[in-house]
Amino acid sequence: MERLRVDKLLANMGIGTRSEIKRAVKQGKVSVDGKMIKDSGLIVHPEEQIISYEGEEVRYQAWIYLMMNKPPGVLSATEDERDRTVIDLLASNDRVLSPFPVGRLDKDTVGLLLLTNDGQLAHELLSPRKHVDKLYEARVHGEVGQADRDAFQAGVTLDDGYVTLPAELDVLENTLEDGEAYSSIRLTIREGKFHQVKRMFEAVGKQVVHLKRIAMGPLQLDSQLAEGEYRELDEAEVELLRSHRGNRP
């Protein structure tokens, strides 16, 4: 069971710096199990004891797992000097735990993005050796057909000479708009090369005009999340991710 100093616990939860918390303890603002403490270095058991700041309970949380429906125009990064990032969309109490995006979606790509501070889980979900499925829906300029399905299943050669792993391509609908052919598709890939989905379609002479990720491994995008919204994963979803790549020690 984890044991922490009170000042470290409160600092990790964004209450203040170590020195600020030390002053707060001296001012009688911090209590453990209902009793004011005098030592900011007091060791506590967060799972068993109630730590309060200015009368309000502070619930300690070591890990954070967020599902976001990423909107267009936002970068899958922790910071950027010019553009907004997905971290900018988080509430301050969620940013405190320093989550980062697991993998990247292009700036104009929308859909499922996992954010966490669990580096080991992120590493294993992104490891090329794991071949974690990523499911996308896309609108494509051009008529997608059986020849494209066969090409994707065999692996297509990208513009840099890389041959992709076999991918599963399903055509949902073909339409004709103003004399131009468009297709709605679903694509499952098992790797994450730069702009991979767009480059795969370019390799067969077509262009992706809208791209949305709807699943990553066993985790599916919550249909109730509007673009730009996010929520914490529930315990079952976290365990599903962990079991998908093996349990974390």
Residue 3: count other Cβ atoms within 10 Å of its Cβ: 11
Encode the chain (249 residues) as per-residue pLDDT tens digits.
578 899 988 888 888 888 999 999 999 999 999 999 999 999 998 888 899 999 999 888 889 999 999 999 999 999 988 999 999 999 988 998 889 999 999 999 999 999 999 998 998 888 878 889 999 999 999 999 999 999 999 999 999 999 999 999 999 999 999 999 999 999 999 998 899 999 999 999 999 999 999 999 999 999 999 999 999 999 999 999 988 754 333
Helix, strand, coil fractions of the chain, as percent rounded to 5: 25, 30, 45
- Number of helices (H), then strands (E), belonging to the chain: the values are 7, 15
- 47 close to 66: Cβ distance less than 8 angstroms: no
Domain assignment of residue 225, given as a range: 65-129+218-245
Q: 201 and 232: one domain?
A: no
| Selected catalytic residue, list 7, 33, 88, 106 | 106
**Chosen domain end from 14, 32, 57:** 57
Given this model, what pLDDT does residue 47 score?
83
Sign of the C-alpha dihedral computed for residues 29, 34, 35 and 39 taken in this order: negative
Q: 77 and 40: one domain?
A: no
> CA-to-CA distance for 156 and 111, rounded, in angstroms?
24
Q: Which amino acid is at 224?
A: Q
Q: 50 and 114: one domain?
A: no
Single out the residue of 114, 115, 106, 110 nearest to residue 70, CA to CA: 110
Q: 231 and 117: one domain?
A: yes
Given this model, what pLDDT does residue 249 score?
32
106 flagged as catalytic: yes
Q: 37 and 147: one domain?
A: no
Single out the residue of 3, 6, 62, 61 nearest to residue 32, CA to CA: 6
The label of the residue with tokens 């997608």 reads 144
Cα separations in angstroms, 85 against 68, 168, 190: 12, 30, 25
